[in-house]
Amino acid sequence: MRTLILGGDGFIGWPTALELSAAGHDVVIVDNLSRRRIDTELGVGSLTPIRPIEERIAAWREVTGREIRFAPCDVAQDFDRLVDILLREEPDAVVHLAEQRAAPYSMKSAATKRYTVDNNVNATHNLLAAIVESGVDPHVVHMGTMGVYGYGTAGVALPEGYLTVTTEGATGEPVSQEILYPTSPGSVYHMTKSLDQLLFAFYNRVDRLRITDLHQGIVWGTQTSETRRDDRLVNRFDYDGDYGTVLNRFLVEGVVGHPLTVNGTGGQTRAFIHIQNSVQCIRLAVEHPVAAGERVRIMNQMTETHRVRDLAAVVARITGATIQNVDNPRTEAAENELLVTNDHLLELGLEPIRLADGLLEEVTEIVRRNADRVDVSKIPSTSLWRRPSRLSAESVP
């Protein structure tokens, strides 16, 4: 199969490109390298020394003899180029990861909120409109998020995207219908993924586009079986206060002797998935496409749920770190339960990798090897989910 990976230079995109290429797909990475630009903007870098995209691709060719191609393109801005790429490649599948994915970054300032909305909503809409414009018919596999559901599920296991509601019909009889599960995003970033869902529903209904939306939990780990094959293939590892996700951050903090930064009580329960499972799920989705005429397929892409303070306790035990309950910079429920169904991906063959000391040790080992690259000043999360005090008219430029 020929597969385009929009955002194929990023944390999930790069190992997905290798996973699909290793499985025999003809892979084309489409990327504007914005994730590297944002690193520069924030004055941070991946814990692991990731190589330039050209070197990554050359190393993959050298190690495996397989060719991954790179088509530079800003999917959110350069619509005509995107149409050209679709016409030239006629892909069977398009994996869409070309979105700004950090909730704290999306809440940092008016500028980052606007960038996140402009980039993410335009990228998704440009892709859908470009598919219609070009007349090609790829299966779109989009990286969504568990965060569209919100995290208060009142003891009900989250279904996979749709909810059956029963209301009273005009003549008093009960009427059942399936609706998109109502969204309750917790950040501007999560909100863009909620908006994506409406775009998908529309283009699926009106233009019959074939779409899978993967509602993914928090990814942990960094290496996959393919990125491990050569140092030059190493995946990125974010630990800073904007892009680092909670478990990976705790592991870095534990190794460098920084207290584990538990936001609030740490009573937040979230869904998790290891990076190896993440790329496996994307491959399963690509290799089992949605049929013509089928509604948007939504699959919950997670393997287990954990409470933040329980994760901190595990990392403290492994690394000897202390735990610090910091004032939560986010607006989120202090404590929540979370039950999730993930039957679709299990049926397709997902083999869950669960959090285990051995795997945590492997990640810890990578952190130890690169510990001199950690900039401790970038660990605190400074993005506040609160309104600033009111500007005075004179202070507006």
Residues with catalytic roles: 145, 189, 193
Residue 129 or 333 with smaller CB distance to ligand USQ: 333
Q: How far is CA 72 from CA 4, 31, 78, 291, 359, in A?
A: 12, 5, 10, 30, 35
Residue 224 or 300 with smaller CB distance to ligand USQ: 300
> Residue 249 interacts with ligand USQ (CB under 6 A)?
yes
Residue choice 116, 263, 300, 319 for contact with ligand USQ (CB under 6 A) = 263
Residue choice 139, 270, 297, 306 for contact with ligand USQ (CB under 6 A) = 270
Residue 101 or 297 with smaller CB distance to ligand USQ: 101
Contact region for ligand USQ (CB under 6 A) — 50-58, 157-165, 256-264, 293-301?
256-264
> Residue 184 interacts with ligand USQ (CB under 6 A)?
no
Residue choice 94, 102, 316, 345 for contact with ligand USQ (CB under 6 A) = 102
> Residue 218 interacts with ligand USQ (CB under 6 A)?
yes
Least CB distance to ligand USQ at residue 270 (A): 5
Residue choice 45, 147, 150, 289 for contact with ligand USQ (CB under 6 A) = 147
266: left (phi over 0), alpha (psi -120 to 50) or beta: left
> Residue 10 interacts with ligand USQ (CB under 6 A)?
no
Least CB distance to ligand USQ at residue 84 (A): 29
In sequence order, the 6+-apart residues with CB closer than 8 A to the CB of 41 are: none
Contact 306, 356 (CB under 8 A): no
> Residue 83 interacts with ligand USQ (CB under 6 A)?
no
> Residue 350 interacts with ligand USQ (CB under 6 A)?
no
Contact region for ligand USQ (CB under 6 A) — 43-51, 98-106, 292-300, 344-352?
98-106
What are the backbone dihedrals phi and psi of residue 72, each rounded to the nearest 5 degrees, phi first? -65, 130
Residues 71-89: b if buried by 16+ CB within 10 A, e if exposed = bebbbbeebebbbebbeeb
> Residue 337 interacts with ligand USQ (CB under 6 A)?
no
Contact 234, 223 (CB under 8 A): yes
C-alpha to C-alpha distance for 283 and 12, rounded to whole angstroms: 12
Among the listed residues 17, 245, 239, 74, the one whose alpha carbon sits nearest the alpha carbon of residue 146: 245
Residue choice 30, 246, 275, 350 for contact with ligand USQ (CB under 6 A) = 246
Structure token pair of residue 149? 């559901």
Least CB distance to ligand USQ at residue 202 (A): 22
Least CB distance to ligand USQ at residue 227 (A): 19
In sequence order, the 6+-apart residues with CB closer than 8 A to the CB of 50 are: 56, 234, 235, 236
Long-range contacts at 61-68 (CB < 8 A, ≥ 24 apart): 62/230, 63/229, 63/230, 63/233, 64/21, 64/22, 64/229, 66/21, 66/22, 68/17, 68/18, 68/21, 68/27, 68/28, 68/29
Residue 4 or 271 with smaller CB distance to ligand USQ: 271
Which residues are near ligand USQ by CB under 6 A? 101-103, 145-147, 217-218, 245-246, 249, 261-263, 266, 268, 270-271, 308, 328, 330, 332, 381
